[in-house]
Every structure is written in C-alpha cells, then in structure tokens.
Amino acid sequence: MREAFRLCTIFGIKVELHISFLLLMLFFAILNPRVFFYLLLLFFFVFLHELSHSIVAMRYDVKIDKITLWPIGGVASMERIPKDPSQEFKIALAGPSLNLLVALAILIPLWLAGGLSRLFPFSQMAFAPDPVSIAVIILKVNLLLGAFNLFVPALPMDGGRIFRALLAMRIGFSRATDVAAWVAKGIAVLMFLAGFYFNIILMLISVFIYLGATQESQATLVSGLLSGVKVRDAMNPQAVTVSRDTSLEELRALVLKAKHTGYPVMEGGVPVGIIYLSDMEKVQRGEWPLWKVERVMSRNVPVCSPEEEALEVLLRMHSRGVGLMPVMEGGQLVGVISHTDIYRMIEIMRYLKG
Ligand code: ZN
C-alpha cells in the first residue's frame, strides 16, 4: 500500500501528499466544502513555506528529496543536516519569513485602504466570496503560520531550529541540541496542558513537538557517534553479486548462504541494477525458477563511495527507501553497505567512544 502520492515535481523536488492528508481533504470536500476551501488555502501556503526552506537549503548544497504534506503540516526531507549553525539559521528562517512577507504584502494595501477593522475579531474566519474577504483570510493564515513557526522556540519547529542554531554558535551543535530538546519538551508539556483549556489542536501539536524533539536529540547522538566514520570503515568488502540472467530460484540459494538483503546485478564489471529481497516478493514463489533477476531488479541504483561519511549514506538510504547500497571506487565495485552495517557501527562506537 502506498503511503504518499506524487503531486508534482518542482526544482527537482518531489511534492507528495500523504494518504492521511488526502483522506482528510476528501472528508471535508464531501462534508464541509467551506472548511475544505480553508484547508486548501492553508496547505498551499504550508507548501510555499516548505519550498522556501528547500530553496535556501539547496543554495547550501543540501539536497531536498521531497516535500510531503501531512495533516499537521509539511515536511521537507533533507539528505543531510546542515552542521554549520549559520546555514541552519538561514534555512529555518526562510519558511516563516515567506509567510510573514505574504501577510505584509496584504496588510499594507489593506491598511492604506482603511480596511484594518476587517481583521477583527481575529479568530473569526468569515467566509464571503469577495476578493477582500479572501485576502483577509490569506493574511490571517500566513500571519499564524509565520508567527507560530517563528516564535515558538521548540524543536523541531523553525523557532526551535533558530534557537538551536544560535546556541550552537556558542556551545557546539550537540550540546545545543540537548538544551534545545529539553526546552522543546518543556514547551510541549505546557502546550498539552493549555490544550485542555483552549484548543485541542494545541494538544496534537504538542505531541508532534515532543516526539520530534526526542527524535532530534537521538539523531544528534547518532551523528556524534558516527562522526569521522567513513563508508570504508563500516562496509562489507565482500559484495555478493548476480548477473542479469540469474534466476530467482538460484538467487534464493545464494541468499540463504550470503544472508545479504541486496545483490548488485553486474554486467561487464559494473552494476546495472540491484535486486533486493523485497523485489523477489513481486513474483509468486512457484515461478521463481522461470524468472530472471533482470525482470524484477531495481534499475536506478543509488551508489556511494568508500570515502563518504557513513551518516550521510545512512540518511540517503532512508530518503531513497533502500536498505543497502553498492560501494563504488574508480568505476569498480569494492563492496556493499547496508543500514544494519551502519547501525552495528553506531553500537560499536557507543562503547568505544564511551
Ligand atoms: Zn518551517
């Protein structure tokens, strides 16, 4: 079952809608077209917000694989975490700035036209199909998105990233993350309690912040343990390979011996594809003797080099959704690396680095 559906690709970034998001939209489209319209507007600006982060990130050579829209917001998947605090600062600032700029671009003409009273009461999103009402709604949506993301200093929200970046300039990345994660968890608890009195959405967001902050501090722990660890240190130099016309039945025997989860498919010394255990599932067990590897292998093979940081390769595996990569050096296959190899290395470094 697919979890996310591709909407479009923009600047090389895939834009995906998570299935829970689609179901929510469908629900409101049928039940309450007015709420549907607000959500559509809201998520259009959530998308622009994420795009704005992504464009700045790409300027620092941080590759963005995709933007996924969830019911709770958008997520831009970065291939690596920018370690330079000033880069993280600018990337985090880019999202809310866009929303505040949009709000300002509406606020000024509204003010000049003497229409500021249309903003109040603020919590009321009165819908009328005239351009001024729609502009007021767009203004409020962007003001809320921008301010909430910018001024709540809780990781993984933008305000928390900015806070972490400012701290990191003084006390280093990993200690800054520890402090920022504790602050975020404190804010999450307060927000959860406030949710009882004000709005249940606050409770939802607080859970998202708490889990996100925990994940962020774990990620920092892992990146600390893996710092300086290269692919060469963690990889398996004995790659087990197959050829295009190996049958799935032959592969089965090989898997039982080698116990790898992926096998580069070689032709003339270079990998032309890779077959993962999950590819074998595409064919019924009884037909394995008749099927050649070539027909079910994955052709777009993500590869890495032995000199790359193991952490970056791990993040790339996650963002590409693969568990194993061929390691190439000077056009030659020199090994394979799986996420299990890297996890084992994390475990080892936990003891060695104390
Ligand atoms: Zn953001």
Give tens-digit pLDDT for 218-239.
888 888 888 889 999 999 998 8
Residue 88 bears catalytic tag = no
- Domain holding 303, by residue range, is 231-353
Question: Is 111 part of a structural domain of the chain?
Answer: yes
- Is residue 172 very low, low, confident or very high in pLDDT (cuts 50, 70, 90)? confident
Distance 100 CA to ligand 1 centre (A): 12
Evaluate if residue 307 carries a pLDDT over 90.
Answer: yes
If asked whether residues 181 and 283 sit together in one domain, one would say no
- Is residue 190 very low, low, confident or very high in pLDDT (cuts 50, 70, 90)? very high
If asked whether residues 146 and 194 sit together in one domain, one would say no
Provide the pLDDT for residue 63.
Answer: 79
pLDDT digits (tens, 9 = 90+) for 238-288: 889 999 999 999 999 999 998 888 999 999 888 899 999 888 888 898 999
If asked whether residues 198 and 270 sit together in one domain, one would say no
If asked whether residues 259 and 319 sit together in one domain, one would say yes
Are the C-beta atoms of residues 195 and 206 closer than 8 Å to each other?
yes
The mean pLDDT of 170-174, rounded to a whole number, is: 88
Question: Is 166 part of a structural domain of the chain?
Answer: no
Rounded Cα–Cα distance for residues 116 and 182 (Å): 39
If asked whether residues 146 and 18 sit together in one domain, one would say yes
If asked whether residues 34 and 77 sit together in one domain, one would say yes
Rounded Cα–Cα distance for residues 299 and 94 (Å): 36
Question: Is 319 part of a structural domain of the chain?
Answer: yes
Distance 98 CA to ligand 1 centre (A): 10
User: For position 343, which CATH number holds?
Assistant: 3.10.580.10
Distance 117 CA to ligand 1 centre (A): 29
Distance 146 CA to ligand 1 centre (A): 8
Rounded Cα–Cα distance for residues 138 and 41 (Å): 7
The tokens for 291 are 């099927």
DSSP labels, 293-344 = HHHHSBSS---B-TTSBHHHHHHHHHHHT-SEEEEEETTEEEEEEEHHHHHH
If asked whether residues 240 and 198 sit together in one domain, one would say no
Contacts of residue 183, defined as CB under 8 A and 6 or more positions apart, other chains included, come to 153, 154, 155, 160, 163
Number of separate domains in the chain: 3
User: Which residue did the predictor score with more confidence, 103 or 116?
Assistant: 103
If asked whether residues 180 and 86 sit together in one domain, one would say no
Q: HSE of 152 in the Cβ direction (CA atoms, 13 Å)?
A: 21
Distance 28 CA to ligand 1 centre (A): 25
Please say which residue of 225, 258, 289 terminates a domain. 225
If asked whether residues 274 and 316 sit together in one domain, one would say yes
If asked whether residues 43 and 180 sit together in one domain, one would say no
- Is residue 132 very low, low, confident or very high in pLDDT (cuts 50, 70, 90)? confident
pLDDT digits (tens, 9 = 90+) for 18-75: 888 888 888 888 888 887 888 888 889 988 999 999 999 989 888 787 888 876 677 7
Provide the pLDDT for residue 293.
Answer: 92
E strands along 92-247, which residues? 242-243
Are the C-beta atoms of residues 213 and 185 closer than 8 Å to each other?
yes
- Burial class from Cβ neighbours inside 10 Å (0-12, 13-18, 19+) for residue 259 reads exposed
The tokens for 230 are 């290269």
Range name among 101-105, 185-189, 257-261 with the lowest pLDDT average:
257-261
Question: Is 79 part of a structural domain of the chain?
Answer: yes
Q: Indicate which residue of 16, 50, 88, 216 is catalytic.
A: 50
The backbone torsions φ and ψ at residue 353, rounded to the nearest 5 degrees and listed phi first, read -85, -15
Distance 96 CA to ligand 1 centre (A): 6
- Quickly tell me which residue has 């394995």 as its tokens: 288
If asked whether residues 255 and 307 sit together in one domain, one would say yes
Rounded Cα–Cα distance for residues 103 and 110 (Å): 10
pTM for the full model? 0.71
User: Which residue did the predictor score with more confidence, 344 or 7?
Assistant: 344
- Burial class from Cβ neighbours inside 10 Å (0-12, 13-18, 19+) for residue 303 reads middle
